[in-house]
């Protein structure tokens, strides 16, 4: 489930257009994951995110904050408008939604720094106050 939810659905469809190819890709992904992933770590991550809600304290963030999402994020879908609504509560907050592209990976886009590097550079270039 995480394999599908944390990636780009268009990319996954291209990678797995048939049931046979889906089985093959999933089998390989699971074989690779078993080599490097600890099941307890995954359970901890899922449990920790189950009831995570930064909302109650957003207005107390005083540092400049850049919140980045991608248009293909199935876990935090931009269509819900939550990011755009809630970032207004952060005094020095800015939200960026990266457009869908062949380079985005849904929720996993946050690990692809070249896609959001320019926005971070802009944040870091702001004068300290």
What confidence tens digit (pLDDT) does each residue in 48-57 have? 888 888 899 9
What confidence tens digit (pLDDT) does each residue in 66-84 have? 999 999 998 889 999 999 9
Residues near 26 by Cβ (< 8 Å), separated by ≥ 6? 3, 16
Q: Is 37 within 8 Å of 127 (Cβ atoms)?
A: no
What confidence tens digit (pLDDT) does each residue in 4-34 have? 777 778 888 888 899 999 999 989 988 998 8
DSSP state of 107: B
Cα end-to-end span (Å), the chain: 44
| Residue keyed to tokens 């994020």 | 73
Q: Is 113 within 8 Å of 85 (Cβ atoms)?
A: no
Q: Evaluate if residue 105 carries a pLDDT over 70.
A: yes
Q: Domains along the chain?
A: 2-125 (3.40.50.1820)
**SS3 category, 81:** coil
Note if the pTM is more than 0.85.
no
pLDDT at 129: 65
Q: What does pLDDT average to over the chain?
A: 90
Strands (E), 4-46: none
Q: What is the mean pLDDT of residues 56-67?
A: 95
């Amino acid at each position: 489930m995480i394999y599908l939810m944390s990636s780009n659905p268009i990319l996954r469809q291209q990678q797995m257009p048939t049931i046979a190819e889906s089985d093959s890709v999933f089998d390989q992904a699971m074989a690779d994951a078993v080599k490097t992933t600890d099941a307890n770590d995954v359970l901890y991550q899922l449990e920790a995110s189950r009831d995570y809600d930064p909302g109650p304290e957003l207005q107390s963030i005083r540092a400049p904050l850049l919140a980045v999402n991608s248009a293909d994020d199935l876990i935090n879908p931009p269509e819900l408008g939550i990011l755009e609504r809630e970032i207004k509560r952060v005094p020095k907050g800015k939200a960026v939604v990266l457009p869908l592209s062949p380079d985005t990976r849904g929720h996993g886009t946050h690990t692809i720094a070249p896609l959001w590097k320019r926005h971070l550079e802009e944040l870091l270039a702001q004068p300290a106050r």
